[in-house]
Chains A and B, each alone.
Chain A
Amino acid sequence: MRPLSFEVDGWIILVGALAGAACAVPGSWLLVRGRLMAGDAVTHAVLPGIAGAFLMTGSRDPMVMLIGAAISGVACLLLAVLLERTLRVDKGAALGTAFTVFFAVGLVLIVRGADRVDLDPSCVLYGALELTPVDRVDWFGMDLPRALPILTTTLVACALASFLFFKELRLAAFDPAFANAIGARPLVMDLLLAALVALVSVAAFESVGSILVVALLAALPAAARMLTNRMGWILVIGPLLGAVAAVIGHASAILIPPLVSATATDTSSAGAIAVASGAIFAVCVALGPEDGLLPKLARQSRLRLRIAREEALAQLWRARERETPLEVASLLTLMDQSALRRRTSRGALRMLRTENHVSCDDGIHLALTPTGAVAASQIIRSHRLWESFLASRADIRPDHVHTTATLLEHVTTPELAIRLADEAASTTDPHGHSIPRAENPTQD
C-alpha cells in the first residue's frame, strides 16, 4: 500500500471533488425536471464532437472541444426529435437510439484516431484521474494540474447560471405550461440546461471519464433530494456530496484493495468515486428524514405500538364492563383479532405497565388503574361515537360498524371527537353500550 501524499492525492481529490460538484449542479435541475435520461444522452452524445474536434485540429484546447461537443450534442437531440416526429418512434426509444449511435461513432473515431495521435479510448471512458497531477498548465502564474482551471471555471459557470436563472429554471421545471402562459420561455431554460450538461461533460470527461459523469450527474442530486425539500438546498448539498464522494472514492481506491489481497494495488479512482456516489445515495435513501427507509420504518412501528396500546386499553375497559378480569394470555388473544403482532401487543402491554395505566395486583389478572381508566374511556368514547355516527348518520347496518370504528378510533383528534359528538348526538352506541363522557369538560 502506498501512503497518501498531498502532492499527488491532494490534487487528484481536488480535481475529483470539482468534477463531482460541477456535475451535481445541472444534475439537480435535470432531476427535478424529470430529465436525467436526456442528461445521460447529452453526456454520451458529445463524444464524437470531442473526438472529431481533436482529430481535426490536433488541439486539446477546451474551447475547441466544447464547440465540437456542442455541435454533436445538439445534432443528437435533433436526431432524436426527428425520429420521434417523422417515424413516430417512442420518445425514450428515439433518444436511446440516437445517443448510443452517437456514442458508438465517437468510440470508432477515437479507436481509428488512436493510431495516429495520442488519444486513448479507455481514458475517454474511465478518465485519467490518476494522471491529472502530471499534466500541468500555467494559469495566471500558478503551476496547476490542467484539469483544475477547466473544472473550476465550469463549476463557477454552472453555479452562476443556477443563481441568476434560479427562478426561471425552477418555474420551467415545475410548471412548463404556466411558464409558457406568462411568457417565461421554458424552452430557453431547457436549452440552457442542455448547454450546462454539455459543458460539464466536456470539462469532466478528460479527468473522470464519460461513464463517471453520468453517475455524478444522477446519484448525488438524487441523494440530496432525499435530505431536503428545498430546491436551493439541493443545489448546495448535491455538489457538496459530489466533493465528499471524490474524497471517499479516491481514498478507498488506494486503501481498500490492499486489505482485500496482499498483492493488489490501487484500483481506478474514477470507478471508486462512482461506487462512493452510489453508496452515498444508498445511505441517504436509508436515513432521509422524510422519505428515508429507516425513519419510515420507525414511524410505522411507533404507529403500530400506539394502536396496540389503545387496543389493549379498550379491551381492558370492555372486560371491566363485563366484570370479568382478563389474564395476559386472553388479552393477547383478543388483541390478535385486530391483526396486531404478538411482539407489538406485548410491547404495548409493557408500556402500559410502566406508564402505570395497567396493574396486575394478584399476579394473574390485569386491571386498569385510575389513570388507565381515564385514557381507556376516551378511546372507547371515540369508538362508540363512531359506531353511533356510522349507524345513525351514515346508514350502515349496526353489525357492520365495529370494524370501521376500530380503524377510525385511532385517528380521532379531540376536535374531530367534538364534531362527532354533535353529529352522533347519542349517549349509547348501536349495541346499547353507554358512551363514556368526554374527559375534557369542553368536549361535553
Chain B
Amino acid sequence: MLVEIKNLRIAFSTPTGWAEAVRGVSLTLGKEKLGIVGESGSGKSLTARSLLRLLPGNARVQADRLAFDGIDVLAASERQMRAIRGKRAGLILQDPKYSLNPVMTAGDQVAEAWRAHKGGSKRAAAQAAVDLLAQVLIRDPARVAGSYPHELSGGMGQRVMIAMMLAPDPELLIADEPTSALDATVQAEILRLMEDLVSRRGMGLLLISHDLPLVGHFCDRVAVMYAGRVVEELQAGELTHARHPYTRGLLNCMPRLSHPEARLPVMVRDPAWLAP
C-alpha cells in the first residue's frame, strides 16, 4: 500500500483550546486514482498535506497510522521527509501564478527540480527540462522553457508545475485543486493529461477538489469529506447511487445544463452528520 492513513486527527491550538479540523480520517491508496471531495474547511487539504508533513506550526497531528510506502511519517526524521517530499511524492497546488517562481524561467525551474533529485550537469538538466515540458504536451517546449511565468497562460503554467513534479519520477502525485483557477476547456485538458501520465507511469494520484462530478469523472474511487470526517467512500462509477445525504446534496445543488430546474435544492445540514 502506497499510503495508509488510520484515524488521523489534526487540531489547531486556539485561545479557547484545541480546535479539531480533521477528526478521525482513515484512507488507503495504492497505485490508483483517489479523489477527496468536500467543501472549504472540510479538512481535505490538511489530510493530504499531513502525508508530507507540510502543516502549519501550530497544528497537532495524531494518528494510529500515517504511512507513506511503509515509512511512518509521524516518526520520520526531517532528512527522511526530505527524501519523500518532491522526490517520491509530488504536490501540485491550485494556482500556478503563485506557486511558480516569478523571476526564474520555466525551464530553469523544471531543471532545478530535476537536478535537486537526480544530480547531473546543468546541460543535462536543461535538456531533461525540455523533454519533460514536451511530455506534458507543450507544443513548443524550447520556447516555453525560456519563458517567465508571467508570459505563460494559466493552463501552460499548470503544465510547467506538473512537469516539475514529474522530474524526479515520483510514485505519488498529490494534486490540491489543480484546476480550480483554470477555464473549463483547459481544466479538462489538464486533468486528462494528469490521468494519462499517472496511468502510464503507474503512479498513485490523490486528487483534491470541491467539484464532485469532475472528480468522479477522473478518479477510480472518491472519498467525500464533511467537517473533518470521511462520510462516504465509493467507486467513481457509483456516484449516482451515493447514499449519504451530504453527497446527494452536493450532487443535487449544482445547476445542470441537461436538467433545468426553477430553483436549486439547497443543502439542509443535519447535525447528525457531525456524529462519528
Q: Do A and B bind?
A: no
Interface residues of B (CB under 8 A from A): none
